Amino acid sequence: MMAMLMRPVRNHSWNVTPLEARQIQESLCQRVDVTPLPDLSQIKTVAGLDVSYAKETNRCYAAVVVTRGPDWEPIEQATAMLDATFPYVPGLLSFREGPALIQALSMLKHAPDLFLFDGQGLAHPRRFGLACHLGVLFDHPAVGCAKRRLTGEHDIPGNTPGAWTPLRDEQTNELIGAVTRTRRNVKPVYVSIGHQLSLDQAIEIVLQTQTRYRLPEPIRMAHRLSNEIRLADLNAEDRSTH
DNA sequence: GCGACAG
DNA sequence: ATCTTGTCGC
């Protein structure tokens, strides 16, 4: 029998109301582990994860691409198509994308050393963004790398690759992420802890997996793959309907 | 009531 | 995020 290597060590109902979703976040956020990894150089493979959607059908197309450093060439990929049962609500993204991403991860034959998500981790109103959520469910190292801000205040980082400024909760002054410049003359990205590493290490992962574009290579590849399977699915649907 | 708001 | 053409700039 084939062992399922990538499966959550804990789970919960995904068929919930927005109110219940917030309660789950407030409960699970206590399990986020910000202990630094003992040795970042032991991270050999990074999985980029992303989801695209079909406007009409509301279907989710999840993609995970496992890459190996130092060049971050893809070594394995997996996808999943699932109809969304939850709407997009700022702060509750993981309840929309989570089920499809979990299914895609379950298809992998090799466990990546770390998950890199297209979204926030701790830089979230309840400190439990997508990267924290799946990191905790899989009990696996995870990083959040978002293109836009969800919450927190910050200054603009210097226009030099690697430059970053703290993203803080203005009320508590808590450090929740790092606004990080990956390329000169390009808008910075929002990096935050997902699970089982430090903010410095999360930043380092994003910078190391970045090549010549704004976003880390694993995320770019997952983004492309999710779009590919979506377009393929929509084309197949057209051909069967006509 | 008004503005903000990952994907 | 998706729907969409061309267009400005390195």
In a domain, A13, yes or no: no
- How far apart CA A142 and CA A133 sit, in angstroms, is 9
Q: Cβ of A46 < 7 Å from strand B?
A: no
> How many Å apart are A48 CA and C4 C1'?
27
Residue A190, CB-side half-sphere exposure with 13 Å CA sphere = 24
> How many Å apart are A234 CA and C5 C1'?
22
In a domain, A102, yes or no: yes
**pLDDT tens for chain A, residues 1 to 242:** 667 889 999 999 999 999 999 999 999 999 999 999 999 999 999 999 999 999 888 899 999 999 999 999 999 999 999 999 999 999 999 999 999 999 999 999 999 999 999 999 999 999 999 999 999 999 999 999 999 999 999 999 999 999 999 999 999 999 999 999 999 999 999 999 999 999 999 999 999 999 999 999 999 999 999 999 999 999 877 666 65
In a domain, A58, yes or no: yes
In a domain, A70, yes or no: yes
Range of the domain at A49: 18-236
Structure tokens at A43: 């991270």
Give bridge partners of residue A47 from the DSSP assignment.
A66, A115
Report if pTM > 0.85.
yes
CA A100 distance to own-chain centroid: 13
A217, A115 Cβ separation under 8 angstroms: no
Q: Which nucleotide is nearest to A54 (CA to C1')?
A: C2
Please, which positions of strand B sit below 7 A from a protein CB? Answer: 5-7
- How far apart CA A35 and CA A201 sit, in angstroms, is 10
CA A165 distance to own-chain centroid: 21
> How many Å apart are A102 CA and B3 C1'?
35
In a domain, A57, yes or no: yes
> How many Å apart are A22 CA and B4 C1'?
19
Residues with CB under 7 A from strand C: A 52-55, 147, 226-227, 230, 234
Q: Which single residue has its CA nearest the C1' atom of nucleotide C2?
A: A55
In a domain, A9, yes or no: no
The CATH number assigned to the domain holding A103 equals 3.30.2170.10
In a domain, A192, yes or no: yes
User: Count of domains in chain A?
Assistant: 1
> How many Å apart are A149 CA and B5 C1'?
9
Structure tokens at A58: 């509301």
In a domain, A8, yes or no: no
